Amino acid sequence: MRALCVVGQMTFDRFMVEVFARTKASNHLRLGQVFYNYLYDIKPNLALEIVGTDKDPFYVDTRHQPRFIKAFSFVRQHWDDFP
């Protein structure tokens, strides 16, 4: 799937709507996997800030797990810092 919005117009809220929609549409991908992969597609430099850290959500299944909460908070806080 490709981004539905032009990256410059993509808001964090729209990003999260897309993450949940993509996760629901996929029967085999984890929430954290979709979150990270889609973030890397549209804001690779921001994605690289969280990979391999305690904020890396790749292996997370639900939004209630600490790694996902940390990733969500970090990305939301720094969304506009990375083009």
Number of structural domains (the chain) is 1
Question: 5 pLDDT exceeds 80?
Answer: no
Question: What confidence tens digit (pLDDT) does each residue in 24-83 have?
Answer: 999 899 999 999 999 999 999 999 999 999 999 999 999 999 999 999 999 999 999 998
Q: Is the pLDDT higher at 74 or at 4?
A: 74
Which has the closest alpha carbon to 36: 27, 26, 28, 46? 46
Query: 4 in a domain, yes or no?
Result: no
Q: Which residue has the tokens 């890397």?
A: 40
Query: 40 in a domain, yes or no?
Result: yes
Q: Assign 8 a pLDDT band (cuts: 50, 70, 90).
A: low
Distance CA 54, CA 67 (A): 6
Domain that holds residue 38: 10-81
